[in-house]
Each structure stands twice: as C-alpha cells, then as structure tokens.
Amino acid sequence: MACGCGGSNGGHGGCGGGEPAAASLAQDDVAVVAAALAEEVRSEPLLIASSEQEWPRVRVNGVEIPAEEIGQELQYHPAESREQAVFLAARALVIRELLRQRVAELRLPLQVQPGESEEEASIRVLIEHEVDMPEADEEACQRFYQQNRARFVSAPLVAARHILLECAPDDLDARHSQRELAEQLLAQLGSEPSRFAELAAQHSACPSKTQGGALGQISKGQTVPEFERQLLRLPEGLAEKPLESRYGYHLVWIDQHIDGRELPFEFVRDDIRGMLQQGVWQKGVAQYLQTLIGAGVIEGIHLQGADSPLLQ
C-alpha cells in the first residue's frame, strides 16, 4: 500500500499516490445548462402522473418525450428517491427539447468544433446568439481582488521527513497498536532526535525510509487531503503528535516551512476574470432557460419559468 504522501523516491518525495485530479467542467452542453438552471431555479419536484403510470407523460409544445428516454436519462440523476430522480431526468429532457426546438426555429448556421457533437454545437451557437454575456472589465476584477485578497495566496511549502506506521483504515486493532507504537517512538525522538533516520529504517512502511524518511518538498495537492491539512500547518521541528491518515500514523519532522505569500493582482487577473465570467454565464443561461420555459407549453411536469418575452 502506498502511503500517498507525495513526491517520488530518492529524497524527492516518499510514496507517490494521492488523490486523482478533479474532473474538468462537463463538456455536454445540455448537462451544463441544466446545472445552471438548477443553481438559479428552485423548481418543485412535481410530476403529473397517475398511480397506474410507471412514467409521467411529458410534452413540450406538443412534442411528447418518450418514456424510454426518461428511463435512459435516469442513470445521470442520482437522488434520494426514485420520484426525485425521475423528476430530474424529465427536467433535463424538457430543457434539451426546448433548446432543440428553439434552434430549429431560428435556423442558426452551425460550425461543429473538434470534439463537439452536432447537438452540443447547436446549443453553444444558440446561447452565443441569444444570451448577452457582458465581459468582466478591469475595474470589476480589481474590486473582486481587493475584497478577497486572502483567497489569493500561494500555498505553503514544507521540506519534511516522516515515519509511516502502516495500518488499514478499517482495522481498529491495528490502529490502536500502531498508535501506541507511534507514541513510544515519539518519546524516543523527543530525547534522541538524531535517531530519526535509524527509526525510519526500522519501522517505516514508506519507501522513503531508505532516505531517512525524506519526502522532499511538499506543497498543496501533492498528498492525500487529510495528511496535507495537518502537514502544511506544522512549524519546523518534530511534530508533537502523530499525524493520522488513511494509511496509518505518521511521525513527522519539518526541516523547513515557508509560509504562503499574497499573490499580486497581475498574477491572478486572468483567474479572477474567468471566475466572474463563469458566474455571469451561469446567471445568463439560467435566466434564458426560465424564459424558454415560461414561453413554452409544458405538460406533465411543473417547472418555474419567466413571463418576459424571449431574449433577442
């Protein structure tokens, strides 16, 4: 079992592993716009169906959504109850059908980009045509930066050594015995700190034990979260308590700790602009979808819509 403490061997890190990278924003435009609507609209999970019907009969401007499609869509909408999942699936299909009908009505020219399906391209072109997306200007970015300076700080950096006393997260007996061993070793290191490398070689389950337990330099995102949260807060020297992670208990020595520093506006301008634009996009798309819902004739499911005319 790798301890997931970050880095590679040879004194530049210990065990590798860690959390998989977070998935990027979904590319399916239908799912994205449905999510945008869900952020802004609190629709009631009301499906109009009799007790004899397994699936609701949903129509959008006279076009019926087949029950088979609702059943297939269900897998993408986990929920606490089947009723809620069916509602979410039906809502997504209603939004897709409204967008499809609006695309057909406007007859917008399509240019499918690499990696896009024709449906994704049509929705992208529709939103670009129908939804006004004001740009976040320099003043707005500066204002956001000044109001949120604490968010724009570089991650701290530590050079650390550790001794991993390995045990499975669900083995309570092993956890108890390894905790006791950790306390014993910690007491030894308190009186004989020069023995860290020796004790690492004897007891550590991490490959870094051949380098005296050295993990190298570690910053944010290079180890498992529960270990990282504790590690990056430690001052220099021997940690007073064992650090617990899914891999067991870690005795840690911090050789160097460099605090994070505030990043200048120029370094984060583009990130801020992207965040502000994303917020504007979500609100704009949600309002547009509400307008489509309000202008349409939707049967079999209740969705909240706006009464204003379609955006031009």
What is the mean pLDDT of the segment spanning 108-120? 88
Range of the domain at 172: 6-18+154-258
Judge if 123 and 57 occupy the same domain.
yes
- On whether residue 73 sits in a domain, the answer given is yes
Judge if 132 and 276 occupy the same domain.
yes
What is the mean pLDDT of the segment spanning 295-304? 86
- On whether residue 149 sits in a domain, the answer given is no
Judge if 254 and 160 occupy the same domain.
yes
- On whether residue 25 sits in a domain, the answer given is no
Strands 13-16 and 63-65: unpaired
What is the mean pLDDT of the segment spanning 40-65? 64
Residue 26: predicted pLDDT: 36
Judge if 163 and 103 occupy the same domain.
no
Residue 33: predicted pLDDT: 54
- On whether residue 170 sits in a domain, the answer given is yes
State the total domains in the chain: 2
Judge if 92 and 165 occupy the same domain.
no
- On whether residue 59 sits in a domain, the answer given is yes
- On whether residue 184 sits in a domain, the answer given is yes
Tokens coding 290: 């509400």
Is the pLDDT score of 108 beyond 90?
no
Q: What is the pTM of this model?
A: 0.53
Judge if 219 and 288 occupy the same domain.
no
Q: Please, which pLDDT band fits residue 274 given cuts at 50, 70 and 90? A: very high
What is the mean pLDDT of the segment spanning 148-152? 91
Residues 248 and 178: beta-carbon distance below 8 Å: yes
DSSP characters for the chain?
-----EE-STTSEEEE--PPPPPPPP--HHHHHHHHHHHH------B---TT-SS--EEETTEEEPHHHHHHHGGG---SSHHHHHHHHHHHHHHHHHHHHHHHHHT----PPTT--HHHHHHHHHHHHH-------HHHHHHHHHHTGGGSBPPPEEEEEEEEEE--TT-HHHHHHHHHHHHHHHHHHHH-GGGHHHHHHHH--SGGGGGTTEEEEE-TTSS-HHHHHHHTTPPSEE-SSPEEETTEEEEEEEEEEE---BPPHHHHHHHHHHHHHHHHHHHHHHHHHHHHHHHS-EESB------SPPP-
What is the mean pLDDT of the segment spanning 112-126? 90
- On whether residue 143 sits in a domain, the answer given is no
Pairwise pLDDT comparison (159 vs 4), residue with the higher score = 159
Judge if 286 and 234 occupy the same domain.
no
Q: Please, which pLDDT band fits residue 305 given cuts at 50, 70 and 90? A: low
Q: What percent of the chain has pLDDT over 90?
A: 59
Residue 24: predicted pLDDT: 31
Q: Please, which pLDDT band fits residue 2 given cuts at 50, 70 and 90? A: low
- On whether residue 179 sits in a domain, the answer given is yes
Q: What is the pLDDT of residues 171-221, one digit of tens each?
A: 999 999 999 999 999 999 999 999 999 999 999 999 999 999 999 999 999
Judge if 225 and 164 occupy the same domain.
yes
Residue 34: predicted pLDDT: 53
Q: Which of 11-25, 102-116, 267-281 is the least confident region?
A: 11-25
Is the pLDDT score of 127 beyond 80?
yes
